[in-house]
Amino acid sequence: MVDLHAHTDRSDGTLSPRGLVDLARQTNLAALAITDHDTIAGYDDAAPYAREVGLELVCGVELGARYDGSAIHVLGYFLEAPPDELFRRRLEELKQARRERNERLAERLRSLGLDVRVEEAEALGREQTGRPHFARLLVSKGYVANYREAFEVYLDEQGKGFVPRREPSLETVFGWIRDARGVSSWAHPGRFVRKAGSKPEESFQALAAHGLQAVEAYHRDHLPEESKRFDLAAQKLGLGVTGGSDFHGPTLGGVPLGGLHLKDELLERLRSFSRSLYPAA
Ligand code: AMP
Ligand code: FE
Ligand code: FE
Ligand code: ZN
């Protein structure tokens, strides 16, 4: 069993990178990909430990991009080697852009009468502080009843406190991943396809034309029959296929780590797909 989509507390997950590796072993996963939002710090931290305890750990990342007025998430999988310095610098720039946004977001929330300082969110967010950490802060201060309400009332694009951040375009993100010899995969495409009311085949093809290389057919948001359809559509277009639980922590709902029961073969297929994209120099 493998799981190719999971977050640590280096982004918005709640387990430490080592804690996630321990859980993966308890769950008897053959391989795990850490795919934190905009950072590979969790992978860097977990990699030596995973080697020590004999868990196959894949270096991944989840990047946000703008497409057609929607926020799209793109996974990157680095199967040959973790990304180089250039890619790491690009992540650093994203972190800086988010930090600037967070300052403005805290100001905006204060102007709405909420006592929120950016340092308080950063204390929860460590490497990568984003809106999820602001959401937790608003819950803990009693301004909203729960995480969902924090987004609905304040943090969503329709929320009172929303402040946009500079987000790279899809082409930019695909290019960054390709430059680092990674495989890009459209994370949880079901959300977009449903919202747009589009045919998955057409959306996949449209993104492939922008440089997309694979599709996350298997995700907890997808019904089993949707996953099948996404898998077949991706294969028809010559795209790779990925899948994972999008695990954020044992207390955060969703499916458990490994909860999609994905076969080892999924990672083997991704590996040969990566080799077909980047033949050994
Ligand atoms: P940021 O990149 O800091 O703007 O935060 C984006 C993250 O917030 C996403 O990756 C999601 O994990 C989370 N998020 C965005 N919108 C919502 C929502 N409506 N409900 C719950 N979480 C959300
Ligand atoms: Fe997340
Ligand atoms: Fe996502
Ligand atoms: Zn995710």
Distance CA 271, CA 78 (A): 10
Distance CA 67, CA 146 (A): 29
Residue whose CA lies nearest to ligand 1 atom number 13: 132
The answer to whether residues 167 and 64 touch, using CB atoms and an 8 Å cutoff, is yes
- Output the pLDDT for position 203: 97
Tell me which H or E stretch contains 53.
helix 41-53
Tell me which H or E stretch contains 25.
helix 17-26
Q: Is there an atom of ligand 1 within 6 Å of 229 CB?
A: no
Strands in 240-244's sheet, in edge-to-edge order, are: 2-3, 31-34, 56-67, 70-78, 183-186, 214-219, 240-244
In this structure, which residues have their CB less than 5 angstroms from ion ligand 4?
62, 246
Q: Is there an atom of ligand 1 within 6 Å of 12 CB?
A: yes
More confident residue, 69 or 180: 180
Q: What is the mean pLDDT of residues 251-266?
A: 92
Q: How confident is the model at residue 36 (pLDDT cuts 50, 70, 90)?
A: very high
DSSP string, 225-272: HHHHHHHHHHHHTT-EEEEE--B--TTS-SPPTTTT-B-HHHHHHHHH
- Output the pLDDT for position 181: 98
pLDDT at residue 126 above 80?
no
Q: Is there an atom of ligand 1 within 6 Å of 186 CB?
A: no
Q: What is the mean pLDDT of residues 189-197?
A: 92
pLDDT at residue 69 above 90?
no
Beta pairing class for 214-219 and 240-244: parallel
Distance CA 208, CA 201 (A): 10
The answer to whether residues 247 and 21 touch, using CB atoms and an 8 Å cutoff, is no
- Ligand 4 centroid to Cα of residue 245, in Å, is 8
Mean pLDDT of the chain: 95
Question: What is this structure's pTM?
Answer: 0.93
Q: Is there an atom of ligand 1 within 6 Å of 156 CB?
A: yes
In this structure, which residues have their CB less than 5 angstroms from ion ligand 2?
12
pLDDT at residue 110 above 80?
yes
83: helix, coil or strand?
coil
Q: Closest ligand 1 atom, CA of 98?
A: 3
DSSP string, 159-188: STT-------BHHHHHHHHHHTT-EEEESS
- Ligand 4 centroid to Cα of residue 179, in Å, is 22
The answer to whether residues 125 and 41 touch, using CB atoms and an 8 Å cutoff, is no
pLDDT at residue 185 above 70?
yes
pLDDT at residue 121 above 80?
yes
- Output the pLDDT for position 49: 98
Q: How confident is the model at residue 70 (pLDDT cuts 50, 70, 90)?
A: confident
- Output the pLDDT for position 128: 84
pLDDT at residue 281 above 70?
no
Q: Is there an atom of ligand 1 within 6 Å of 134 CB?
A: no
